[in-house]
Chains A and B, each alone.
Chain A
Amino acid sequence: MTDLNRRNPISHLTDRPSKPSISRVVRSVEFPLKAAETPAGEIPLPSNVGGNYDTDWARRYLSRLTRRLALASLGKAVIAYYANPTIRGLDRLHDLEGPAIFAANHQSHADTLLMLTSMPAPWKHKAFVGAAADYFFGNKSTAAISALFIGAIPIERTSINRNTIEKAVDLLRGGWSMVIYPEGGRSPDGWGQEFRPGAAFLAKQADVPVVPVHIRGTFDILRKGRNWPKKSTSTVNFGRPLEFADDDNNRSFTKRLQTSVEALADETATGNWYASRQRAHSESNPGIQGPDGSPWRRRWALTDIEDKTDSRRRWPYV
């Protein structure tokens, strides 16, 4: 029988010979092969990552061609394998002309790839993504990958950076379309979050319409806290473009945008467009934020609206 009180001596852990690993080798690299840290007390030079990262190179011809080829081949294949998407509502974009902001709910890292492969031409060929500066542009490698393959530009989540907003407005005015997640980050539990007014602000500044988009089914693919994707089925439902009206302000427009995404969510969940329109008119759409209550109850409620069409066998088998 094992003696539970028995402990390995400290020396056993410390003295154990280290195993060779890639991360250990990378960590062991030192200056000049690696940048030196700014000594304590010294003012660091202005950073060229994060919100200050310059992404102009990613919109030049060669980068665009690379991105287009990568999305059309590898991107599409990966999304088809992991997300198996159904795309709806493209007919609502029939009269849309010029650049637009595509504003979607956000559940997973897979959302961006899903959006970029689901959006119709010509918008998907000239699109950029507002990505969290602290996450996607934290260092030069992730910044370059994000800029090249998803056309990302950095957006500050915690502070106002005039440069990034001006960059987004300039691009929209220059004919580029934007993918943005008005919730500001991925859902922590599968339910949606209150929309922030960024999309409304940009729509007003650049004078472009906002296309509400509802994404369903990606939470399980690459949710917050997960590092490896899992297969699922998903639906992307595009709504009718919204124009920033004269009597709108950022708050009211954001409310309209959220209501539109909620109506799309209802339409996708029930599969009954007419019933969802009836609920939308009577302002009784169930919404995307879920019920108040403890985490387990919110998770429990989520199972009620999860896709019932998944035919994979789940335990317990009956």
Chain B
Amino acid sequence: MPARQGLVLEVDRSTPPILFHHGEGFRFEKLPSGSRVIYPNEPVEPIEDVDSAIRDALANPLGDSPPLEALLQPGMKLTIAFDDISLPLPQMQAPDIRGRIIEQVLDLAANAGVDDVHLIAALALHRRMTEAELRHAVGDRVYDAFAPHGQLYNFDAEDPDGLSHLGETDHGEEVVISKRAVESDLIVYVNINLVSMDGGHKSVATGLSGYTALRHHHNVETMRRSRSFMDQENSELHTKNWRQGRLIRDAGVKIFQIETTLNNNTFPEPWDFLQKREWEMNAKERMFLFGTKKFLDKIPRKAARSIFQGIRAPFGLTSIQAGEVEAVHEVTTANVYRQHLVRVEGQTDILSMGLPYLGPYNVNSIMNPILVACLGLGYFFNLYKGKPLVREGGVVIMSHPTPQEFHPVHHPSYIDFFEEVLADSTDPEKIEHKYEKRYAEDEWYRHLYRTSYAYHGVHPFYMWYWCSHALEHVGEVIIVGGEERAVKRMGFRSATTMRDALEMATDVVGRDPSLTHIHNPPVLMADVV
């Protein structure tokens, strides 16, 4: 049966309670009649013969690029960069698509007699990947062949000897990327495009870059002018990345881009009911859901977290294309939209969303309050084309326990950001001017980023900037089930139940508001007309 398109359901009296993700748990919410629920498209049929598809893509590149085989010669310097732990979400079941592609790239390189090969996890200012995470991404064979010789490693954006300054764009944006990449005869970038923001020039220009270059687009002004940053035609973030990427290309850095798209088959058995519509769950699934919810409500959060973080998605590959960056990305974006876009008519007064346990920056980690805000107001809010789902001055209601918990190894600067910066102000512009530089250049955070597994000191600022378009656009943010102290610190309001949240929202949007709920994940992107 072909995959069904997404659905905008109008709630009536017969509509069952809707399943909301709620961190490491679930809620069932009976929405008022007349509300809308947006369901994602069903998973697009995946490619059956993945190895052949990879082989074809490498042999038949897009744009003006020759086949990869023709670019490989003995004595050359080859750098293979790949997306880090933030993609895909959740991590995919082994074998990871990155590893499958890298093996074929390396097999061609081995055939060509290339000896000088480096593999770099392009993590920009994200935390370093652990050995287990790298092994999962590239596979044991590749890891064992390169890591012991120092040829497979995490990118270090603070290595004073490891970066190369390529110049400035005509808008004054500095371009600084990995020195090894610049000195290579060829960079092969292996990408996973989970959402439409990923890939393209952003891969190298951001993934292999550091604070000096990223500050030109990871800022409040760029995010507020990106309507949204998921929509390339209207994204200032995209425009600036493209300017930097073209400067890299014009500087003579040769990039062979490989981009992949995955379907939204996000949850494996027995969790696959989470991607079903409520009325299509069978008795066994409903019993499992009910039992699981009761169980998760009873056990400590740490135990629930470990259960959820163990989920590996059975994603299927829906497309792979390789070659020249821009030509590749155009096809990739069309394939992402094919999976994600759901047409929605008109905006809403209140937008509700159930936030799951996972975002890009808490893989194998804790979702702290700042990441909760970023997931809801940064990612989910911006998953639109056209105009935001919620009208200007409307209300966003998010469901998440929002515990005031931080991973001390992964998110040390987040703790200080929460305690010091947010205690002073929640205004992104004020925060940017008053605190960003100090955190970005803090020696201790720099040390932890380079030698431990910490996100860069400036990273929590970027997460807050990610919310800045939503914070400017909406009149109120309410978190259902959120821990009051944490919610209040971020300038939001907490509600015990959805009914309370809706009551609180009427203070802002009037007595008879419209409500739209996005049933996400699996990921959907609203095409609002």
Contact = CB atoms under 8 A, between A and B. Distances in A.
Interface of A: 88-89, 91, 94-95, 267, 271-275, 277-278, 280-282
Contacts of B142: 273-274
Contacts, number: 43
Given A271-B145, A274-B142, 15 more contacts: A88-B140, A89-B141, A91-B99, A95-B50, A267-B141, A273-B144, A273-B145, A274-B106, A274-B146, A275-B145, A277-B106, A278-B115, A281-B107, A281-B113, A282-B113
B117 A274 contact: yes
A281 B144 contact: no
Count class of interface residues, chain B: 20 to 34
Nearest to B113: A278
Nearest to A271: B144
B95 A274 contact: no
A89 B51 CA distance: 15
B356 interface: no
Q: Determine the main DSSP class of B at the interface with A.
A: helix
A277 B95 contact: no
Contacts of B50: 94-95
A278 to B, nearest CB: 4
A274 B138 CA distance: 13
A282 to B, nearest CB: 8
B110 A277 contact: yes
Nearest to B140: A88
B496 interface: no
B94 A91 contact: yes
Task: Name the residue in A89, A91, A273, A277 with the highest tally of chain B Cβ atoms < 10 Å from its Cβ.
Answer: A273
B95 A94 contact: yes
Contacts of A94: 50, 95
B420 to A, nearest CB: 46
28 contacts: A88-B140, A89-B141, A91-B99, A91-B139, A94-B50, A94-B95, A95-B48, A95-B51, A267-B141, A271-B144, A271-B145, A271-B148, A272-B144, A272-B145, A273-B141, A273-B144, A273-B145, A274-B106, A275-B145, A277-B110, A277-B111, A278-B110, A278-B113, A278-B115, A280-B110, A281-B110, A281-B113, A282-B113
A239 to B, nearest CB: 11
A89 B142 CA distance: 11
Contact of A274 (B48, B51, B99, B145): B145
A273 B106 CA distance: 10
B64 interface: no
Nearest to B48: A95
A281 B112 CA distance: 9
A273 B107 CA distance: 10
Interface string B404-430: 000000000000000000000000000
Given A95-B51, A272-B145, A274-B142, A281 B94 contact: no
B107 to A, nearest CB: 6
Contacts of A277: 106-107, 110-111
Contacts of A88: 140-141
B250 interface: no
Nearest to B112: A281
Interface string B90-110: 000011000100000011001
